[in-house]
Chains A and B, each alone.
Chain A
Amino acid sequence: GAGVSQSPSNKVTEKGKDVELRCDPISGHTALYWYRQSLGQGLEFLIYFQGNSAPDKSGLPSDRFSAERTGGSVSTLTIQRTQQEDSAVYLCASSPTEPYNEQFFGPGTRLTVL
């Protein structure tokens, strides 16, 4: 079946602009995660959704970052007033409910802030 999809694949924006990144999880997966991978860095957790609620937002780096999930499916990560340090690959993952399940990752959105 279809995997996790993300759009756009690449986004170039100017400092100070807002951006929206979209994630379509695997159908039926109740858990959805956003991570960030900066150049030369590992993966940094941002936010976790179970259904439409976000019980763990502890990784969001500032209040410029927000995310929502609707219908227990699609999620949007919004970054307001982008800064150059926001440049990174933003990865979305989904998994079934049980906590021991592996997370399935999308191809990522490469964000470049000029």
Chain B
Amino acid sequence: AQSVAQPEDQVNVAEGNPLTVKCTYSVSGNPYLFWYVQYPNRGLQFLLKYITGDNLVKGSYGFEAEFNKSQTSFHLKKPSALVSDSALYFCAVRAKDTGRRALTFGSGTRLQVQP
């Protein structure tokens, strides 16, 4: 079975400060890892993914994430938060070496960036 944990229901950060949204995963074998963002009354938008190679992945809107295999983590980061980054963020995983194509999502972390 595969699972994702996002230990923080909400993260508060001041505009201009760095932000981190945490994600740990459990999967058999190697993972494909994804971050999505959801704005109010909108579908999920893809931010970035880790497939293979460089552990630091850069994505949309200045976000990046670091894959850490030993800690089974894939934390989302941004050097300088914007108020417009306020949204619900989901981490997702699927196993690379199985036929299962469905993503398993975490419960989401609400990011609140204060002006």
Contacts and interface: CB of A to CB of B under 8 A. Distances in A.
Nearest to A41: B107
Interface string B29-67: 000101010000011111001010000000000000000
Contact of A102 (B49, B102, B104, B105): B49
Contact of A48 (B45, B90, B101, B105): B101
Interface residues of B, number: 24
A108 B42 CA distance: 8
A106 B90 CA distance: 16
A65 interface: no
A42 B99 contact: no
Interface string B100-112: 1111111110000
A99 interface: yes
Nearest to B49: A102
Nearest to B41: A107
A97 to B, nearest CB: 10
B46 A56 contact: no
A31 interface: yes
Interface of A: 4, 31, 33, 35, 41-43, 45, 48, 50, 55-56, 58-59, 91, 93, 99-100, 102-108
16 contacts: A33-B101, A33-B102, A42-B108, A43-B92, A43-B103, A50-B101, A55-B99, A56-B100, A59-B102, A91-B44, A99-B32, A99-B96, A100-B96, A102-B49, A103-B103, A107-B42
